[in-house]
Each structure stands twice: as structure tokens, then as C-alpha cells.
Structure 1
Amino acid sequence: MSSDDQAWVPESCTLPTVERPLRLAEFDDLFATALLEQQQLSPTQLRWRLDRDAETAARDLTGRESSCCSFFTFTFAGDTDALRLDVQVPAAHIDVLDALAQRAAARMTT
């Protein structure tokens, strides 16, 4: 993990530093294999459309992320052809959401 990868991790994150590259790699894998579309609904909210086959992995990953970065709110809903995942943060963490959105866009399946 580069220092740029660490730059947007907030101080409130309780995930041990040594585990952060692994968690980031899990998000990268989800984006590369399952992310179909990303929408910025507001400065504090993203919407991801994921391949339905990734639901178990996405729920597990976001559950673990919520436990170390409690400012994230992840909400799942089913669309007819995809899994919808809304990601929301308080205004104080817009920079974290922006960094996550950029990372997702760079790795999204096409």
C-alpha cells in the first residue's frame, strides 16, 4: 500500500494498519469483478450496482468495514438485474467517500 492509499484513511479507522492493505485489496477485487455502475447521489452518498453473484462477499466486506469505520452506512437493495449498494458518510468524511469513488471508478468492470 502506498502512502497515497493511506492518505485518505481517517484517524477514526480502528482497523490495524497492518491489515489495511488487505482490506483495500478486497475492495479492489470487488470493484474489478462485480461493480457494474457507480453514481454519485450527493456529496455524501454513492450508489453502486453490483453483480448479484457478489452479494455474499459484498455484505461480508461492508459489515467488516462498518465495524472499523463506523461512519460508513451501507444499505443493500435488490434491483431486477443487479444488487444495489448505497454508501453514505457524514459530511466530515466526504474526502474518504471521494477517494473510495475514485478507486472504484478506476477498477470498475466494463
Structure 2
Amino acid sequence: MHVVVPAACTLPTADQPVRLAEFDHLFTTAVRHVETISPTHAQLRLSGPAGLEATVQDLTARETACCSFFAFTVTPEPVDEGEALTLDVRVPAEHADVLASLTGRPVSRAT
């Protein structure tokens, strides 16, 4: 799958595959649904074991540090076991292709 890496990204090229692998792991283990609200706004529903929110907060904070055009909002959702959350991702119009590339990653099929 082709990944769009914008020129604005300050993450060293050698570290980019590692970061992408972190997103792929999150998407294949925790993301249950991706909804494209607009070309510049996506909403992801995630669920997983305790610690999921901390993992998502850490990953999105590190991503924002190198790609400051991302705006991530994590909203916890009530569940009986583990953790569930909604992750809103917004980008400026000039980075809509980056958002499409990110949200086009394979997601978990578990419910």
C-alpha cells in the first residue's frame, strides 16, 4: 500500500517505517471502524485492553511532534471491559491526501 509522506514531516526517513508499523499495529489490533467525515476529517473507533488510551495518546503525540499539521482528539467511550475510544483526526486541506493514506490502512475485522 502506498503511503503519502508529506514534505512537512520532520521524522527522519529511517524512522518512518517504524512509525508506520506502529500505526499498522494499532489499526490491525484496535481500530473497529473508520468513518471519513470529510476529506480533512476522519473518525476512528477503537477498542482494546486497558492501556489503549495511553498507547493512542503516546502515538498521536509523537506523530504531531513531527507532523504538526495533524490534529488528534481522543475521546474515551464507556465499556464494560477494556477500553474503547473515538479518535478524531483532522488535517488542513493541503494534507487531505495524507489523511486518506493514514485512514486507508487495513483495520481489524473483530467487533
Q: Same fold (TM over 0.5)?
A: yes
Q: CA RMSD of the aligned region, Å?
A: 1.4
The structure where helix makes up a greater share of residues is 1
The amino acid across from 1:109 in the alignment is R
1:48 aligns with 2:50: no
Given residue 38 of structure 1, which amino acid in structure 2 is its aligned partner?
V
Alignment partner, residue 87 of structure 2: 85
State which drifts further: 31-40 or 47-56: 47-56
CA distance in 1, matches of 2:35, 2:27: 14
User: Sequence identity of aligned pairs in percent?
Assistant: 48
- The one-character-per-residue Cα deviations of 1:21-79 (angstroms, maximum 9, x if unpaired) are 00000000000111011111111101011115321111100000000000000001122
Residue correspondences, number: 104
Given that residues 53 and 76 in structure 2 are in contact (C-alpha distance below 8 angstroms), is that contact kept between their aligned partners in structure 1?
Answer: no
Q: C-alpha separation between the residues in 2 aligned to 1:90 and 1:18? A: 26
Corresponding residue number in structure 2 for 1:98 = 100
Counterpart amino acid of residue 20 in structure 1: Q
Structure 2 unmatched runs, 5+: none
Equivalent residue number for residue 28 of structure 1: 24
Q: Where do 5+ consecutive residues of structure 1 fail to align?
A: none
SS of match in other structure, 1:85: strand
Greater share of strand residues, 1 or 2? 2
Query: Does structure 1 residue 15 correspond to structure 2 residue 11?
Result: yes
